[in-house]
Amino acid sequence: MDLYNMLAVLAWFLYVRVSLSMRVREGDDILPLVALLEGAVAKGMTQGDVCTMLVEHSKDLKDEQSIFRFITQVFALGSDSVGKLHPVAVLRCMAVYLKMPLNIIDSDTNETLLFPAVLDHQPKSVQYLLASGVPGNFRNSDGENAAELALIFCPECLIDLLTGGVNPNDEFQESCSKATILQDECQAGWNLVHFAAQAGAATSLKNLKQYGADFNAKDHLGLTPVLVAIRRGRLQVLSELGRLGASFFSVHNQRGWTPAHYACRYLDDSIGLVKFLATIQEFGGSLNGTNHDNQTPAHICASARMNYLGRSNPDALSYLHEMAIESFQVRDSNNRTPEEVAESEKGNVAEIFFYKIKVNQYARQAAKANERKHIFQKKSEEAIKCKELEEQVKTIFDCSGDGIKVPRGVMLMKESQGDCGKSRCAARCPNAAACPECQDCEAQQTQCADGYDDASQGCSRCQAGYGRRREDPFQCKACGEIPWLSWVTYVVKPLGIYLVSLWTAHKKRDRTASLLKIWMAFGIVMASISPSIKSSDTFAKIHTSLVQSVEAGEGAASLATQMTGASFDCLLDNPHASMTAWLGLSFAPPLVLWLLTMIYVVGRSMSAGSGMVSALTKDALKVTIVSTNCFLPDMVAALVRFVPCIHFQVFDQSKQYLQFNVETQCSQVVGMRLAAVFAAILLGTVLGPVYWVAVIMKSKQWEDREEVLGFLISHYRDKVRWWEATVLIRKCALAVAVTLFSASYAPMLYLSSILLIVGLGLACHSYVLPYDDSFLNRLEFGTLMASFIAVFCTFLLQLEMVSWAVDDTVTIPAGVILVLVGTVPSLGLMVLYFMEIRSFGLQRLTSLADQVKSAVARDDPD
């Protein structure tokens, strides 16, 4: 349509030019003057020479009509280029020197000189004429003014005309026929913006906007410039109208059509209808509005009859279906949807479009059905898999999202892990902290926390560079960068405990021995609960200084027990060290120390003579009792490590594994476990309490009983001299409980057993009060009470992970109390012990001084 309008404008211009030429030919009286003028310009005469020539032949310009025709011909021949005729110079010569009027009107067309100046694109001549008083808003016999022509032929002249008094909102009255009204081609009541929209004069719109033109003005039929631009197919003008603020949203003509209706009515896909619709939508126009017949633009685009060009528009329908799909469900006044409109017209190509829409809808419905079926099938499969996993570990998995969300404390194993016999199976992690929660664990390379081996079932093994704790095989700790330091600790700690115990067992140091025994008993309790404290969530929340206080208290308590220390895995540089190796490392210190001491005792006895056999026997008894007091709990625990079993899935007798060697099934080593149980019972009863009680009972007849067994029976009342055997039983029971019930794997059983043992010890002590020293009775009662409170507080910390009712309001105070009862007693016992040693040293020095004074007095005769 742009080509059509261009041809129409060109035809109009040719018509005007031919009309002007005919007027000149009819005026034979000016032909000689025109010819002279052309000759003078051709010879290169100056503007002054031209003016002189005009003055000499001014008699040829007889009246206003001949002047008008002559100037019109000057405009047609004139140019501002060098070597050409300058119309402004001619106008100035005629007005100034010839005194001829320029404000003249052609009697045939009722036009001023502005009209031919605009038609021949003479902007400087227009400026001169306006300055000379020629009215810019003068209308010719057709009702046009020069500004209307300037929109097409001289856009540069428009600003001068608007400045010269032309009102851009003046309406142009034109007669309209019935045919032009029906085709929306009538120009009744147009302003300059309407004409610019019709002519495609996009560059003139900004000038009109600057001078106050109404871009939403309606003509006598209700057409706005937006509708005119659409009717004439002026896409560039339509975009410019939108940018300059013309309304696209509420524009309706007398039939109630919106710009989108107009586009579907007068344009088609071959002219770029989709671009027009996109522009309308861009500037706020509606694509689903209805006209007076309740038709949407989709109704118009779907109909070939309602389109001015006699074609429906499938491409436009596709765009409307994408951007305003709801309009395809609207029914017009004849109760038809756009699809039914297309079906009512035979041979309408829009039917193919709607057929494709149906096919696509059916395809989408089928695809959605398949997708729903696939999703349902996938969810069903995931639900079945989740159910299988939940049955294996008795916990809930989240399968609602993509992949399986594995909860904390559970590991989703690969086919190469474990022997569950399924393509996918889950395992409970003995240490929940080793298996953090993860989403879509199957897609992850690692599931275990740092320090734990992903290749092990349930993250139950340690990585290289880490070792299992002695008291809890499912807690891994870093070995450190200097291996020999671990060996130093391994050697020095038992040696120190043993030497201090031997030194304390000397005669007259009975209170020192009692303090050491109380300290060792308290240290075993704190070492027993240490893994549970460190694995609790509250421990991580406590301030760093409090954490350091807890560790300091535990460190002071652990100095008196062999149950804690460097990891045996780190000592052997093997995160999977065998239980046999652990057993050897547990028995080596006490056996070696006992053997070396016995060699020393025998050697000393042999050097003293044969009469010392009885003394040798008693020294051997003392050494053996001291050794068992220091190391028996750890030795019993080392044997018990062969006994406990764990399971990674729902309890199955055939799928239990050794707690300290999770790659060995318990059913494969039944004999070894029974032997370990027998050895532990034999060692923990015969060599320990039974042996002690027998020795204490037999020693009643010894004259040197206090010298030999003073450290064992000192400060106990006569009726309960055997009470230390019960203390040993309590320490062994704690060691067995810690070993049987891992703090990570069975925290409640672990803490319940410790609480029971400590509680029974506290009750028995409170009932018997075995010491004949009230201070020692109160001291041991206090340490037992502190132990009981520490175990109970640790129990509360573990409850936080299994009960929602236990929160920070319970665990934080419990943590603070735990700090106090774990730190104060252990440090207090340490201070009392060393104060007792210092006091004994001062007493000994005083005794030596008295002996020296007595000797000196005997030697002095005076």
The pTM (predicted TM-score) of the whole model is 0.54
Segment of 7-16, 540-549, 607-616, 669-678 carrying the highest mean pLDDT: 669-678
Q: What is the pLDDT of residues 82-96, one digit of tens each?
A: 446 788 888 888 888
Residue 342 CA: distances (Å) to CA of 44, 646, 671, 677, 809: 70, 77, 91, 94, 74
**Residue 662, SS3?**
strand
What pLDDT was estimated at residue 259? 93
Q: What is the mean pLDDT of residues 153-164?
A: 89
Q: What is the pLDDT of residues 513-560, one digit of tens each?
A: 677 778 777 877 777 777 777 666 666 565 444 455 555 444 544 555
Looking at the structure, give the CATH architecture of the domain made up of residues 1-166: Alpha Horseshoe (1.25)
Q: Which three-class secondary structure state does DSSP give residue 427?
A: strand
Domain with CATH 1.25.40.20 in the chain: 1-166, 168-247
| pLDDT recorded at residue 401 | 62
Please check the confidence at residue 80 and state whether its pLDDT lies above 90: no
SS3 145: strand
3-state helix, strand, coil in the chain (%, to 5): 65, 5, 30
**CA-CA distance, 439 to 452, in Å (whole number)?**
19
Q: Is the pLDDT of residue 842 over 80?
A: no
Percent of the chain with pLDDT over 70: 81
CATH of 168-247, one of 1.25.40.20, 1.10.10.10, 3.40.50.970, 1.20.1250.20: 1.25.40.20
Is the pLDDT assigned to residue 60 strictly greater than 70?
yes
Contact 437, 404 (CB under 8 A): no
Question: What is the CA angle 306-308-309, rounded to 5?
Answer: 115
Supply the pLDDT for residue 97: 82
Q: Tell me the C-alpha distance between 454 and 341, whole Å.
A: 69
Taking every pair of Cα atoms in the chain, the longest distance, rounded to a whole number of angstroms, is 182
Examine the pLDDT at 55 and tell me if it is beyond 90. no
Kindly report which listed range (165-179, 234-248, 305-319) carries the lowest average pLDDT score: 165-179
Band of pLDDT at residue 283, cut at 50, 70 and 90: very high
Measure Cα distances from 116 to 119, 147, 161 in Å. Answer: 5, 12, 14
Residue predicted with more confidence, 207 or 22? 207
Residue 309, pLDDT score: 86
Q: What is the per-residue pLDDT across 218-231, written as a single tens digit (0 to 9) for each?
A: 888 888 999 999 98
Which pLDDT score is estimated for 29?
A: 65
Which among 614, 616, 596 has a CA at the least distance from the CA of 604? Answer: 616
Local structure of 113: helix, strand or coil: coil
Among residues 248, 203, 198, which one has the least CA distance to residue 228?
198
**Section 461-482 average pLDDT:** 86
Q: Which residue from 232, 289, 233 is spatially nearest to 261, judged by alpha carbons? A: 289
**Token digits for 223?**
């057409």
| Average pLDDT, rounded, for the chain | 80
User: Residue 416: which pLDDT band, with cuts at 50, 70 and 90?
Assistant: low
Per-residue pLDDT, averaged over 46-50, amounts to 76
Predicted confidence at residue 542, as pLDDT, reads 58
pLDDT at 792 over 90: no
Residue 738's pLDDT is 85
Each residue's pLDDT tens digit, 740-758: 888 888 888 888 888 899 8
Looking at residue 854, its pLDDT comes to 55
pLDDT surpasses 50 at 852: no
Rounded to 10°, the helix 691-698/613-640 angle is: 160
Q: What is the mean pLDDT of residues 33-45?
A: 72
Q: Among 833, 743, 734, 841, which Cα is nearest to 787's?
A: 734
Buried b (16+ CB within 10 A) or exposed e, 463-481: beebbbbbbbbbbbbebee
The whole-number pLDDT of residue 406 equals 82
Least confidently predicted of 99-113, 454-468, 704-718:
704-718
At 22 the pLDDT is: 43
Distance CA 197, CA 499 (A): 112
Give the pLDDT band of residue 244 (cuts 50, 70, 90). Answer: very high
Helix (H, G, I), strand (E, B) or coil at 28: helix
Integer angstrom CA distances of residue 326 from 244, 286, 331, 638: 30, 12, 11, 80
Predicted confidence (pLDDT) at residue 116 exceeds the cutoff of 90 = yes
Please, what sign has the CA dihedral across residues 411, 412, 418, 420? Answer: positive
Inform me whether the pLDDT recorded for 265 exceeds 80: yes
- In the predicted model, what is the mean pLDDT of residues 366-375? 75
Are 269 and 234 spatial neighbours (Cβ–Cβ below 8 Å)? no
Rounded Cα gap, residues 147 and 162, in angstroms: 8
Q: What is the mean pLDDT of residues 341-368?
A: 85
Q: What's the pLDDT at 423?
A: 55
* pLDDT of 316 strictly over 70: yes
Q: Which residues contact 661 (CB under 8 A, 6 or more apart)?
A: 578, 579
Better-predicted residue by pLDDT, 521 or 766: 766
Considering only 38-47, 317-326, 567-576, which range has the smallest mean pLDDT? 38-47
**What was the pLDDT predicted at 183?**
77
